[in-house]
Amino acid sequence: MKILMITPYLPYPLVSGGQIRTYNLLKNLAQKHRITLASFIRAEEEKKYIRELEPYCQKVIVFKRRKAWSPINILLSALTPFPFLVCIYFDIRIRRKIKEELTRENYDLIHAETFYVMPNIPKTKIPIFLVEQVIEYLVYQRFVEGLPAWFLPVKPLLFLDVEKIKWWERYYWKKSKRLATMSEEDRQFIQNNQPNLKIDIIANGVDIEYFAKTKKQKPAHPTVLFVGQFKWLPNRDATKFLVEEIWPKIKKSIAGARLWIVGRNPPHDILNYAKGDIQVDGQVEDIRLAYAKSDVLLAPIRNGRGTKYKILEAMATRTPIVGTRLAVEGINVRSGKEALVAQSATQLAEASVKVLKDKNLGRNLATAAYELVKNQYSWGKISDKLDEVYQEVGKR
Closest C-alpha to 114, from 190, 158, 180:
180
Indicate if 201 and 221 belong to the same structural domain: no
Q: Is residue 243 predicted with pLDDT exceeding 70? A: yes
Indicate if 143 and 183 belong to the same structural domain: yes
pLDDT of residue 242: 98
d(CA 310, CA 291): 10
Q: Is residue 218 predicted with pLDDT exceeding 90? A: no
**Residues of the domain holding 247:** 208-376
SS (H, E, C) the chain: CEEEEEECCCCCCCCCHHHHHHHHHHHHHCCCCEEEEEEEECCHHHHHHHHHHHHHCCEEEEEECCCCCCHHHHHHHHHCCCCHHHHHHCCHHHHHHHHHHHHHCCCCEEEEECHHHHHHCCCCCCCEEEEECCCHHHHHHHHHHCCCHHHHHHHHHHHHHHHHHHHHHHHHHHHCCEEEECCHHHHHHHHHHCCCCCEEECCCCECHHHHHCCCCCCCCCCEEEEECCCCCHHHHHHHHHHHHHHHHHHHHHCCCCEEEEECCCCCHHHHCCCECCEEEECCCCCHHHHHHCCCEEEECCCCCCCCCHHHHHHHHCCCCEEECCCCCCCCCCCECCCEEECCCHHHHHHHHHHHHHCHHHHHHHHHHHHHHHHHHCEHHHHHHHHHHHHHHHHCC
Strand partners, 280: 261
Each residue of 61-85: pLDDT tens digit? 999 999 999 999 999 999 999 999 9
CATH of the domain at 145: 3.40.50.2000
Q: Are strands 109-113 and 2-7 parallel, antiparallel or unpaired?
A: parallel
Indicate if 167 and 25 belong to the same structural domain: yes
Q: Confidence band (pLDDT; 50, 70, 90) for 374? A: very high
Indicate if 351 and 225 belong to the same structural domain: yes
Indicate if 324 and 242 belong to the same structural domain: yes
Indicate if 37 and 94 belong to the same structural domain: yes
pLDDT of residue 15: 80
For residues 352-361, average pLDDT: 97
Question: Under a CB-based contact definition with an 8 Å cutoff, are residues 212 and 205 in contact?
Answer: no
Q: Confidence band (pLDDT; 50, 70, 90) for 108? A: very high
Domain count, the chain: 2
Question: Under a CB-based contact definition with an 8 Å cutoff, are residues 378 and 206 in contact?
Answer: yes
pLDDT of residue 103: 96
Question: CA torsion sign, 379 to 381 to 385 to 390?
Answer: positive
Each residue of 260-296: pLDDT tens digit? 999 988 999 999 999 999 999 998 878 999 999 999 9
Q: Are strands 223-227 and 199-201 parallel, antiparallel or unpaired?
A: unpaired
Q: Confidence band (pLDDT; 50, 70, 90) for 307? A: low
Is the model more confident about 93 or about 229? 93
CA distances (Å), origin 155, targets 53, 161, 231, 235, 277: 41, 10, 21, 21, 36
Indicate if 227 and 364 belong to the same structural domain: yes
Indicate if 163 and 222 belong to the same structural domain: no
Indicate if 83 and 138 belong to the same structural domain: yes
Q: Is residue 306 predicted with pLDDT exceeding 70? A: no
Question: Under a CB-based contact definition with an 8 Å cutoff, are residues 315 and 291 in contact?
Answer: no
Q: Is residue 143 predicted with pLDDT exceeding 90? A: no
Q: Which strands, in side-by-side order, build the sheet including 178-181?
A: 59-64, 34-41, 2-7, 109-113, 128-132, 178-181, 199-201
Q: Is residue 38 predicted with pLDDT exceeding 80? A: yes
Each residue of 324-338: pLDDT tens digit? 999 998 899 999 999
Indicate if 198 and 159 belong to the same structural domain: yes
Indicate if 64 and 193 belong to the same structural domain: yes
Q: Is residue 305 predicted with pLDDT exceeding 80? A: no
Each residue of 311-321: pLDDT tens digit? 999 999 999 99
Question: Under a CB-based contact definition with an 8 Å cutoff, are residues 311 and 327 in contact?
Answer: yes
Question: Under a CB-based contact definition with an 8 Å cutoff, are residues 63 and 41 in contact?
Answer: yes
For residues 97-113, average pLDDT: 97
Q: Is residue 157 predicted with pLDDT exceeding 70? A: yes
Indicate if 159 and 213 belong to the same structural domain: no
